[in-house]
Amino acid sequence: MSLTIGQEAPNFTLTNQFGEAIELASFRGKKNVLVLFYPFAFSGICTGELCTLRDDLAAYQNDGTELLAISCDPMYSLKAFAEAEGYKFNLLADFWPHGATSKAYGVFNEDRGFSIRGSFIVDKAGILRWQVVNGPGDARNAADYKAALAAL
């Protein structure tokens, strides 16, 4: 399934690294949301991408924007990953049903069982305003997120 800019973003409720349920729709009317799908906790490119966001977190998580990073890893792996890397944003587990949210966003690799690098910006009304999908080995440019958020 591919998503179209201007359509309502698929809602989801996933567990974060602390076992808390986080629902995309809970940010409606409050914040824009940067939704990032990544293949695996503790993998090289994924760690690098998330560390880039961690090191400039105020640009991606603030009064107007929420950052949600999603992988198919279990919650306990995400907790260890967040602790090891000092992530102060939500890492969400799309673990069970395995990859259901990734599938809804069109970024699940069925053959390998993980999310590819999908990046989506959902506005305060719940509408998809920007998206980029990269292959598993293709790192994303965090400056692209800043530019897309600034355009809202």
Task: Say which of 33, 46, 50, 53 is annotated catalytic.
Answer: 46
pLDDT at 140: 87
pLDDT of residue 139: 84
Quickly state the pLDDT bin for 7 (edges 50, 70, 90): very high
Is the bond preceding 10 in cis, omega lying within 30 degrees of 0? Answer: no
Residue pLDDT, tens place only, 90-119? 999 999 999 999 999 999 999 999 999 999
**Which CATH superfamily, name and number, covers 13-150?**
Glutaredoxin (3.40.30.10)
Residues 6+ apart with CB under 8 A from 75: 15, 16, 17, 19, 93, 95
The separation between CA 8 and the C-alpha centre of its own chain, rounded to angstroms, equals 16
51 is catalytic: no
Residue with tokens 């989506």: 120
Those residues with Cβ within 8 angstroms of residue 56's Cβ, 6 or more apart along the chain or in another chain: 142
Within 8 A by CB and 6+ apart from 68, the residues are 22, 24, 33, 34, 35, 36, 89, 90, 92
